[in-house]
């Protein structure tokens, strides 16, 4: 018991308690006749401790680990999803705290709503307010997405945000979990349901096509969300990002030279191969036009000065994810290189390009 406690980083007393209440009972015996943890007991203990760390109560945990319909792999998947969601909320809280610190430093008052809002914040509830400043439909990207929708009439737009890529000439239902984003949808846009991709509140085959644009990397469980899209629609169209190629962060000068932290942000993100496999899709490159109208992370690859603007960065979740230290360092260093001409020297080859392949991919299934 002592060894197991040490490995798990908990006290022997806690293990005795779990044994006492029947939550994790050591079922094996040592040669000397002492009770010991079998491999299955250790697996169960690991699940109990992980759910505990996520804040579940012991009774709830007992129900979860006793559920015979969930095996170890399903528990790991669920734990992974919950942890990613927790990380998302942590990012959102850090962003909200940073905003409040800035507001206080500038002598501004913070309303009680704003103070409490931080606690239940989702990332887009925290950063979504800055989104409409620069995020809008780019007509060339939209044309590629709409072309992939084919002749579909009934369209589901998952992670719809403010609806930038929703086709106007079809019957659209949007799904968007963030209240802040839902509230910013323009008047007259498609009806929007408060739900998440991983659990779509629709019957099998309810839509001709399910689409998702620049959102999959935010989902707690991307593959589960993609399978849900597959379940509710006969066709799936997804604009996402390819991290399969080794050295992919070097594709874009911003991540290569200024923000290597971006790679860690996407470390948990599934490979393009896993995503295409999940829905049986093919992947086509989506070039980013040099004057891309949608202020997504890669949009300003030929207009580097834009990344120095706070309002441009605030509409890109990457900067919140990497945190203010990395952000400030990247911006300082980019500003210095633009001033000294070093950026131009290194990236002179971009000058004549109209569009660049920076890893955006359209999955069509
Ligand atoms: C970068 S925005 C993209 C919005 C829109 N599709 C567009 O292209 O402008 C990402 C959106 O994904 C949403 N999102 C985050 N987690 C989600 C989830 N689990 N399921 C569905 N949408 C999610 C966010 O709230 C946010 O509105």
Q: What is the pLDDT of residues 2-33, one digit of tens each?
A: 889 999 999 999 999 999 999 999 998 888 88
Ligand 1 centroid vs 178 CA: distance in angstroms? 8
For residues 206 and 238, state if they share a domain.
Answer: yes
For residues 240 and 104, state if they share a domain.
Answer: no
Q: Whose CA is nearest to atom 23 of ligand 1?
A: 159
What is the domain range of residue 53?
Answer: 2-66
Specify the range with the lowest mean pLDDT, choosing from 47-56, 98-107, 168-177.
Answer: 98-107
Residue 158 has pLDDT above 90, yes or no: yes
For residues 335 and 317, state if they share a domain.
Answer: yes
17, 47, 66: which is the final residue of a domain?
Answer: 66
∠ at Cα 309 (303, 311), nearest 5°? 115
For residues 48 and 145, state if they share a domain.
Answer: no
Ligand 1 touching residue 177 (CB < 6 A): yes
For residues 52 and 199, state if they share a domain.
Answer: no
For residues 44 and 78, state if they share a domain.
Answer: no
Ligand 1 centroid vs 158 CA: distance in angstroms? 7
Long-range contacts for 113-122 (Cβ within 8 Å, ≥24 apart)?
Answer: 118/92, 118/93, 119/93, 121/89, 121/92, 121/93, 121/95, 121/96, 122/88, 122/89, 122/92, 122/177, 122/178
Residue 87 has pLDDT above 90, yes or no: no
Report whether 346 contacts 257 (CB < 8 A): yes
Reference 293, options 278, 303, 305, 281; nearest CA is 303
Residue 242 has pLDDT above 90, yes or no: yes
Higher pLDDT, 282 or 97: 282
Chain segment 94-138, per-residue pLDDT in tens: 887 887 888 888 888 777 666 766 665 567 877 788 888 999 999
66, 92, 116: which is the final residue of a domain?
Answer: 66
For residues 106 and 241, state if they share a domain.
Answer: no
Residue 312's pLDDT band, with cuts at 50, 70 and 90, is: very high
Spell out the residues 6+ positions from residue 183 whose beta carbon is closer than 8 angstroms to its own: none
Ligand 1 touching residue 131 (CB < 6 A): no
Task: Give the whole-angstrom CA distance, residue 62 versus residue 48.
Answer: 8
Ligand 1 centroid vs 303 CA: distance in angstroms? 25
Q: What is the mean pLDDT of residues 317-329?
A: 87
The domain that holds 221 is classified in CATH as 3.40.50.150
For residues 108 and 147, state if they share a domain.
Answer: no
96, 129, 162: which is the final residue of a domain?
Answer: 129
Specify the range with the lowest mean pLDDT, choosing from 38-52, 72-86, 164-178, 244-258.
Answer: 72-86
Cα-only R_g, the chain: 24
Ligand 1 centroid vs 213 CA: distance in angstroms? 8
Instruction: Tally the C-alpha atoms within 13 A of residue 46's C-alpha that lie toward its C-beta.
Output: 13
- The pTM score is 0.74
Q: What is the pLDDT of residue 101?
A: 87
Ligand 1 centroid vs 165 CA: distance in angstroms? 12
Ligand 1 touching residue 219 (CB < 6 A): yes
Ligand 1 touching residue 218 (CB < 6 A): yes
Q: What is the mean pLDDT of residues 278-299?
A: 97
For residues 201 and 237, state if they share a domain.
Answer: yes
Q: What is the mean pLDDT of residues 323-340?
A: 93
For residues 116 and 165, state if they share a domain.
Answer: no
| 115 exposure class (CB count in 10 Å sphere: 0-12, 13-18, 19+) | exposed
């Amino acid at each position: 018991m002592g060894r197991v406690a040490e490995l798990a980083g908990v006290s022997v007393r806690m293990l005795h308690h779990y044994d006492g209440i029947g939550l994790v009972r050591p079922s094996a015996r040592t040669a000397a006749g002492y009770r010991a943890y079998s491999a299955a007991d250790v697996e169960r203990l690991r699940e109990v401790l992980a759910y505990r760390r996520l804040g579940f109560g012991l009774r709830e945990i007992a129900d979860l680990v006793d559920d015979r319909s969930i095996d170890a792999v399903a528990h790991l998947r669920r734990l992974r999803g919950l942890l990613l969601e927790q990380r998302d909320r942590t990012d959102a809280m850090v962003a909200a705290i940073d905003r409040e610190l800035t507001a206080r430093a500038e002598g501004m008052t913070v309303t009680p709503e704003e103070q409490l809002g931080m606690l239940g914040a989702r990332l887009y509830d925290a950063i979504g307010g800055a989104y409409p400043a620069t995020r809008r439909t780019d007509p060339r990207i939209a044309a590629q997405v709409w072309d992939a929708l084919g002749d579909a009439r009934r369209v589901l737009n998952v992670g719809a945000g403010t609806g930038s890529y929703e086709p106007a000439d079809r019957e659209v239902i949007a799904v968007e979990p963030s209240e802040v984003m839902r509230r910013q949808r323009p008047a007259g846009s498609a009806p929007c349901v408060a739900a998440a991709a991983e659990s779509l509140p629709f019957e099998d085959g309810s839509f001709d096509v399910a689409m998702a644009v620049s959102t999959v990397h935010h989902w707690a469980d991307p593959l589960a969300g993609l399978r849900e899209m597959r379940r509710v629609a006969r066709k799936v169209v997804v604009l996402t990002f390819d991290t399969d190629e080794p050295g992919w962060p070097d594709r874009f000068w911003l991540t290569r030279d200024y923000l290597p932290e971006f790679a860690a942000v996407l470390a948990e993100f599934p490979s393009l191969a896993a995503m295409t496999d999940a829905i049986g899709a093919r992947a086509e490159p989506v070039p980013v036009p040099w004057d891309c109208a949608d202020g997504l992370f890669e949009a300003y690859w030929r207009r580097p000065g834009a990344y120095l603007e706070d309002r441009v960065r605030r509409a890109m979740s990457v900067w919140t994810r990497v945190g203010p230290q990395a952000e400030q360092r990247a911006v300082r260093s980019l500003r210095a290189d633009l001033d000294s001409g070093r950026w131009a020297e290194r990236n002179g080859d971009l000058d004549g390009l109209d569009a660049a392949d920076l890893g955006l991919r359209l999955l069509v299934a």
